[in-house]
Amino acid sequence: MTGWPLEVLPLDRIRVRMAHAVTGVLGANDPQSAFGALRAGDSGEPWYPADSPVRLVHGDIAMLIGGIRALLVQSLHPVAMQAVEEHSGYHSDPWGRLQRTAAFIAITTFGSCHQALDAIARVRRIHDHVSGVTPAGDPYRASDPHLLGWVHVAEAESFLTAHRLYGHQSLGARDADLYVADLARVGTALGVLEPPRNVDQLRRQFDSFRPELRGGGQARAATSLLLWHPPLTGAVRAGYRLLAAGAIASLPPWVRQELGLPSLPIMDRALLRPVARTLLASLDRGFAVTFSNRPAAA
């Protein structure tokens, strides 16, 4: 960014740098990405109406923590992680999967019907070519409705949990059910057979996967990359680790145990969650300055 508006305060400059770092990590600055397509606009009918709870949740800064949390939770399914290990290249391109997921969520949340359906069709074509065999000798396919169902409920549960803990605007019980129901539209289009349509169904489906989940070597490796060895430096790395701490503080004890993470409820409530909220608020102000060219309230 060259040249600062005269009215931008010194603290805002730091916030703006943080906001630019976040958009860079997510790939949101790439004009060829889904984010670029959203900025270009589309006059077609929106996939979700402007007042949809999906737009409220996915447009909140708490999604930064929700995304990290979702990747941690998803890593517990060994078959899903086998597919990621063999086909996503996340070791050589650790942010690639996060960027692709962020772009997909953005376009299917804020895009037109045409943009959303095009993005869904691209993902389905990719899934059709992803298959393999687990170390135990079991075949897998990325297009398997059961695996797709796990990814769907893990994301929905993580995004809702992060919003409940860190979201700017609270979501009532009715809107939470509407969120799950609306998100089922994307799940169905991707190939999920019976996506949950309210919070109770979401919780029951999430719990139904527990016998399949375990924190093996692949899950621990993904956790190490996401939490302890992110490919970031300086202040951006420090800020990311605070977001990651907020994600850890939102995990249930059994997930932490599987991933080898400490469970400290008092520290979560007294330190980690408040610090994460403070960082999110600062980032939110940074985005306000970045995209409105005016100073945010200190």
The runs of H, that is alpha helices, within 41-144 are 53-58, 63-74, 78-87, 96-110, 113-128
C-alpha 198/C-alpha 53 separation (Å) is 13
Token pair 């737009």: residue? 55
Phi and psi, residue 104, nearest 5°? -65, -45
Domain boundaries, the chain: 46-102+131-284
Q: What is the pLDDT along the chain (298 residues), one digit of tens a residue?
A: 344 443 444 545 555 566 556 666 655 555 555 555 565 566 689 999 999 999 999 999 999 999 999 999 999 999 998 888 887 766 666 667 777 888 899 999 999 999 999 999 999 999 999 999 988 888 999 999 999 999 999 999 999 999 999 999 889 999 999 999 999 999 999 999 999 999 999 999 999 999 999 987 889 988 988 888 887 788 778 888 888 999 999 999 999 999 999 888 888 888 889 988 987 887 777 666 555 544 444 4
Angle between helix 234-249 and helix 63-74 axes, rounded to 10 deg: 70
pTM: 0.85
Using alpha carbons, select from 70, 143, 152, 69 the residue that is nearest to residue 108. 152
Cα separations (Å) of 217 from 78, 166, 169, 254?
Answer: 9, 30, 38, 17
